[in-house]
Structure 1
Amino acid sequence: QVWDSGGCSHSVDLTALGKHGEVYTEGPFACLAWSHSETRLLYVAEKSRPKRQPPCPWDVPGAAWPAAEDEDEESSMPGATGRGVDRPVPQGKQFVYHEDWGEALSTRSEPVLCILDLEGLSLSVLEGVPEHLSPGQALWSPDDHGVVFVGWWHKPFRLGLNACSNRRSEIFHLDLASGCCELLSAENGSACSPRLSPDGQRLLYLEGVVGGPHRQCLRLRMLTWQTRQTVTVLDVVQEPTEAFAGLYAEVLPPRCWAADSRRAVLGTPQRSRTDLLLVDTEAATITNLTAGSPEGCWELLTLQWDLLVATCSAPHRPPSLVVAVLPPAGQELPLDWVPVEDTPTVPGVAWKSLTVQPPCSGQGLTVQDTQAFEALLLSPSDGTPPHPLVVCPHGGPHAVFDARWRPSMAALCRLGFAVLLVNYRGSLGFGQASISSLLSRVGEQDVADTQLAVEQALHREPLDPHRLALLAGSHGAFIALHLLTREPERYQACALRNPVSNLPALLGTSDIPDWRYTSLGLPYSFERVPCAEAVATMLLRSPIAQAAQVQTPVLLCVGARDRRVSPMQALELYRVLRARGVPARLLWYPEGGHALAGVETEADVFKNCAHWLLQHL
């Protein structure tokens, strides 16, 4: 629907027009962009594909479905081609396999760029996008004569795209008149999130490296539209400084440019915070607009006419909506944020950031071996210490626990638990060198860092060393399982979500098989097939190989539709634990994916995890 000051001006059932399949409303491909004339809408949808037809209801030899009536007359707009998506599949092709883009993108296979012309009352699917590309994140060129889009390579086959900024993708310009497709970004890169300046002269975008860690420190690049010259505004940061720790956001805000078409605002993890940074694209300077604020997580919703609209939160405070006017260049600080919808802090929850320092003694140590990392400690502000401690290493592994509002963690504090969120070396926000340091050390460095964070927290804070539990998911659960095998009597309870337990078993079941090699420092290529040496290395790093050491009661929460970590990982672990008499319980969510998202699922997971911890601590 399109609305204006007079009400609803247009209402169009896009899928019913038959030009394409489902419209992409979320995810890495999705977009919805007005032309500058505000007469056309640009969006992404699934390519039209004939549907399988059920068997003929007439049990008579030679019977067939009656011929479909001409549906062109039923189309609500000129230019439609009828219900093309309902064409029957030719015989012999009903069961041809169609790849998709993996976890959380199982309905995304072949995206196409579409234009809805409200003035001409027509819908068109754009041609000219190379066949080896899946297009998305499109916007109009400055003159409305073309579109700019991100094209992801899907040859020779698709690897999982969700939470993976290391896939080959480049930015293109498609001329609508000639159909010519022009490459704008560098070849063999991982570019995304193009944002055009208000004056139409500059195109800002993110760029990373193909392969390697799935999340990484990115470059901020800028292209001058007229000359097609590209410069690096912000480069990859190997070692963080007080002023800037690097750029780790997967996308730029949809509207990030200031009115002067020179400055831009974006949010990114900076150690265990997420801050808003003002970038001067000409001077290549950075101003942290939120450093030192009591809120640990800031997110920019939009920037229009130099009015900033953002949310801010902290571990003890749900998100608040705030606004501020961006001052002229050079006068940005201090920025006066005005609350629009202020949210009070939650009573009974306190938090702090802990710096964890690895030991500096030993031979052959590198800078990364002694680099400090951080952990966030949430604890009950009321009640009598020492408090039982729930230890949470994050998944990823290249992710981060920033100091944002997490309802489940605050609820655990209200139940009397302290919670330790560990950002081990390899987390985002601490420089690219820290991310790279984890490669080939998965199952070793991350596990040791988590245990070191626990020991230092127990030494500094009023916590009960005899009441410890683990709560984690995915790679965090992988770390937790390693801790259970190495210190069988240290932890009294463990609750895991979609755990990684058997690395070689994921080679043929995960949407990101490349990570199984990269994480252990092994080379990966699309042509690679498993060999005995690689499989043996993976098995040695797998918790399942040492599962006989586990004594701690384990709760497993499993999404049956998880494409990233096969649910068979948890089922195999469950059987091993039960066979050895270890208390174990498995919850199976038939519609759950890797994130176990959804109100009903999330509520049930939390309720069962909290009960498990209360029962065993």
Structure 2
Amino acid sequence: MPAPQVEKIVEIYRALAKFPSPTSARILNKNNQSQFSVVSSWTQRNLEYGKMTKFQVFHHVDVCTKKSSSALPTDSSNVLSFSVSPTEENSAVLRELPDNSNSTKKQQFLEVWEKTHLLKNYDLGALDVHGDVYSDELGSFEWSPCEEKLLYVAEKKYPKSEPFYKPKSQEKKNNGNEDSKVTKGNEYLFRQDWGEQLLGKCESVIGICNLKTDIISILDGIPENFVPGQVIWTPDGNGVVGVVWNVVPRKLGLIFCTNRESYIFHLTVNGDFSLLSAKGKAVRSPRFSPNGEKLVWLERDAGGPHHSAHRLMCLSWATKESRIVVDTVSKEIQIQGGESFYGLFNLSLPKRCWTANSNGIVLSTPQKYAVNSFLVNLDTNSVTALKIDEGSLTALDVWNDVVICSNSSFNKPPVLLLGKLQNILKNIDKEESASVNWFQISESRPNFILKEIAYHYLTIVDKEEQNTSCNTFSAMYIGPNTSPRPGDLPLIVLPHGGPHSSNCNMFLMNIALFNLLGFGVLLINYRGSIGAGQDNVNFLLGNIGVTDVKDVRLATKEVLEKFPVHSADKVLLYGGSHGGFLVTHLSGQFPTDYKAVVAINPVIDVAAMFYISDIPDWSCVEANVPYNITGNIPIEAFEKMKKCSPLNFCSPSSPPTLLLIGKKDARVPGSQGMDFYYSLKANHVKTKLLLYDDNHSLSQVPVEMDELINAILWFFEHL
């Protein structure tokens, strides 16, 4: 491609990279119901630094006039976690800085701030009580009710080890000055971690920092077969509640996987341990009500698909009896106002999700085309939609019946919206729905270029499918808001990964970049996707490589018929992970239908994945054969896995294929893509492989920029 066109791609990429995304928000000044502040946290691609920049913004909000103003952002890139005390008199910060004595290492500090100054600062590495503090989905960072302690999750401190033979000075030998805590011969002891994007996280412990005594201690009492995470204080501050995962006989990859056997637990400060949830379940996100009487969490059956529908559970803290508030939904149900509801597929609940009366919670979950937010009444078990005009609405914080949400769509970058729940709560027991009057509290960057983008929702029908409960699926077409000549525009077909995830109508930089460079994009939520009922998820099991491939074909056919700006001779394939599995299937089975392929960390051989992935159970579940953790799998099962793999369809007629592979990918190790690369080369197919020092998501800023621009250049070259 000529240099000016490459420069244009880079210019548009740089413009889109300036749109930040909110990661959290918290309402402050809790004693004033009409005027208060909101602190929000954001991330933005910093191309010059080659990483994501994090920053905080304080917004002053007047609910009566529906006006807000924002202070200048403050960089928080070295802040891992931030927590405000219940009275809002103090805040705590977990900060990570480079180690001055070792440039390859990081130091962690726990800071405590009063309103006017830094009160305390703990060098956690120097104190050497535990390893690194977690700031991911396993982590916590919570003030105690009395505001004298901080609760968090950290890596366990392991005994020091040295070789069996290590030369020592004569002085140390004579003085017997040897560390009695050092063990010999355990330097290379294997400790299994949690896999993809959680490498090095092997055994977690619960840490408590006592701000009165300045003592950091480990809360003991967790049985050896469990590891804890997502901990919160009990209402009286005399214990903690959290999630424990069963790690016997081994750990299976955790990120993107909600199916791991786990329990809600209670541990007192005296070390008394008990389980609060049932056996054979997978749980997450425990949250206490403001009055301390109720505990809610998300729950599903352990095992099976890596992600599927959840129940919302509620436990009476006094009696320790639990009940189902929202059950799993097979297909769809009618909720308040006659709206359709397809079940709970959210990975978590907002940290503060409760209404003021402790009878309702706000949550957000994928629903077919978008992420929608709902109010759940725990007294009546009713569900009410919090409506928005367009796009996805994700709840970030709830306080005193005021909710802060993030809102975005394919042609609208994220903004923060504030809404009062009063109208919804007044009509909570009535059949009719009520609306929330939203108003924007965050500043917006001009987004004129995105006005050129339009999107359309599609419902695709498989007329050959006899099972009428699963004969439809959803798709979304995103294209230019203009009217080019018929057949002028190339079409990028983009199935999502997983396979049990979904495409949602929210701002996605890669989609916007494709659109602004003249491509239409088709996103397919093939059968097996979440957000459309549990039956839809289960329908794909045993049918990967068949049903999902068929659905992509059906959706593509419909778009080509419905949008004549596209023609069948300009169709391109782009997908990662299971999306990579699908685009390599499609290009192998129907090679003349596609001009070029870009596959990102694709699954190529399902049988081989059983031995090399951090989630070997995935291969069995998707092929619909029993998983045996001992590895004793029948030959027939592997034959079934092999049969559904795209490697079977590699041929000399395959279209030009670009492979984008992460060297640190533990989910779909790079050998999958490399084996396919060698097969393509052996079949004399034009191919290229880019190998990045990154993990499954290829989300490092320089990597993302390189792989996206290379993908676009590959498409232009082969149109």
* 1:119 equivalent in alignment to 2:212: yes
The one-letter amino acid of 1:420's match is L
Q: How far 1:54 moved relative to its partner?
A: 8.3
For the pair 1:11 / 2:118, whether they are aligned, the reply is no
Of residues 211, 215, 227, the one that matches 2:303 is 211
Helix, strand or coil for the counterpart of 1:489? helix
What are the Cα deviations for residues 255-303 of structure 1, in whole angstroms up to 9, with x where unaligned? 1001110011000011111111000011100110025x22x21111111
1:192-236 per-position Cα deviation (integer Å, ceiling 9, x unaligned)? 110000000000100001111110000000001001111110000
The residue that corresponds to 1:336 in the other structure is 437
Instruction: Report the equivalent of 1:31.
Output: 140
1:386-431 CA-to-partner distances (Å, cap 9, x unmatched) read 3210000000000000101001101100000000010001101000
Give the alignment partner of residue 221 of structure 1, picking from 306, 313, 319. Answer: 313
2: CA distance between counterparts of 1:551 and 1:509?
26
User: Where does residue 77 of structure 1 map in the other structure?
Assistant: none
Q: Look up the match of 1:275.
A: 372
- Aligned partner of 2:382 in structure 1 is 285
CA displacement, residues 150-206 of structure 1 (integer Å, 9 cap, x when unaligned) = 0000000000011111100000110112x1111111122111110000000000100
Structure 1: which amino acid aligns with 2:156? K
Specify whether residues 46 and 66 from structure 1 end up closer, same or farther in structure 2 by C-alpha distance, changes over 3 A only. Answer: farther
Counting strand residues as a fraction of each chain, which structure ranks higher? 2
Gap runs ≥5 in structure 1: 71-83
Match of 1:359 in 2: 463
Alignment equivalent of 2:154, drawn from 45, 52, 66: 45
Quote the offset at 1:532 in angstroms: 2.0
Cα 1:243–1:67 change in 2 (3 A) is: farther
Is 1:579 the counterpart of 2:705? The answer is no
Question: What is the Cα deviation at residue 243 of structure 1?
Answer: 2.6
2:631 corresponds to 1:528 = yes
Quick check: 1:142 aligned with 2:235? yes
**Which runs of structure 2 are paired with 1:110-509 in the superposition (5 Å)?**
110-177=203-270, 179-241=271-333, 242-290=339-387, 293-294=389-390, 296-327=391-422, 329-331=425-427, 333-343=434-444, 345=447, 346-360=450-464, 365-370=466-471, 372-382=472-482, 384-385=484-485, 386=487, 387-462=489-564, 463-509=566-612
Write the distance in 1 (CA, Å) between the matches of 2:438 and 2:163: 59
1:375–1:17 Cα change, 3 Å? same
Aligned CA distance change for structure 1 residues 62 and 489 (closer, same or farther; 3 Å): farther
SS of corresponding position for 2:299: strand
Compute the displacement of 1:367 (Å): 2.6
Call closer, same or farther: CA 1:121–1:355 in 2, change over 3 Å. Answer: same
Cα displacement (A) at 1:382: 3.1
Per the TM alignment, residue 6 of structure 1 is displaced from its structure 2 partner at its CA by 2.2
Q: Give the Å deviation of 1:536.
A: 1.4
Residues 581 and 308 from structure 1, CA distance in 2 versus in 1: closer, same or farther, beyond 3 angstroms?
A: same
Q: What's the RMSD between the two structures over aligned residues?
A: 2.1
| 1:20 is aligned to 2:130 | yes
Q: Which amino acid counterpart does residue 343 of structure 2 have in structure 1?
A: G
Contact kept in structure 1, 2:392 and 2:408, CA below 8 Å: yes
Q: Distance between the aligned counterparts of 1:444 and 1:551, measured in 2?
A: 19
Tell me which moved more, 468-477 or 530-539: 530-539
Shift of the alpha carbon at 1:589?
A: 0.5
Report the secondary structure of 1:347's partner residue.
Answer: helix
Measured in 1, the distance between the counterparts of 2:552 and 2:173 equals: 65
Q: How many residues were matched structurally?
A: 592
Normalised TM-score (structure 1): 0.92
Specify the code of the residue in structure 2 equivalent to 1:454: T
> Is the Cα–Cα contact under 8 Å of residues 162 and 185 in structure 2 kept in the other structure?
no
Shift of 1:141: 0.6
Q: 1:597 pairs with 680, 699, 702, which one? A: 699
Q: TM (normalized to structure 2)?
A: 0.80
Which whole-Å CA distance do the structure 2 matches of 1:538 and 1:133 have between them? 32
**1:22-101 to 2 correspondences below 5 Å:** 22-26=132-136, 28-51=137-160, 88=182, 90-101=183-194
Name structure 2 gaps, 5 residues minimum.
Answer: 1-110, 334-338, 429-433
What amino acid is aligned across from residue 307 of structure 1 in structure 2? V
Letter in 2 for 1:272: Y
Give the counterpart letter for 1:424 in structure 2: Y
1:531, distance to aligned residue in structure 2 (A): 3.0
Report the Cα distance in structure 2 between the residues aligned to 1:358 and 1:65, rounded to whole angstroms.
83
**CA distance change for structure 1 residues 106 and 557 in 2, over 3 Å: closer, same or farther?**
same
Alpha-carbon distance between aligned partners in 2 of 1:68 and 1:460, rounded to the nearest angstrom: 81
Distance in 1 of aligned mates of 2:561 and 2:177: 75
1:106 to 195, 199, 211: 199
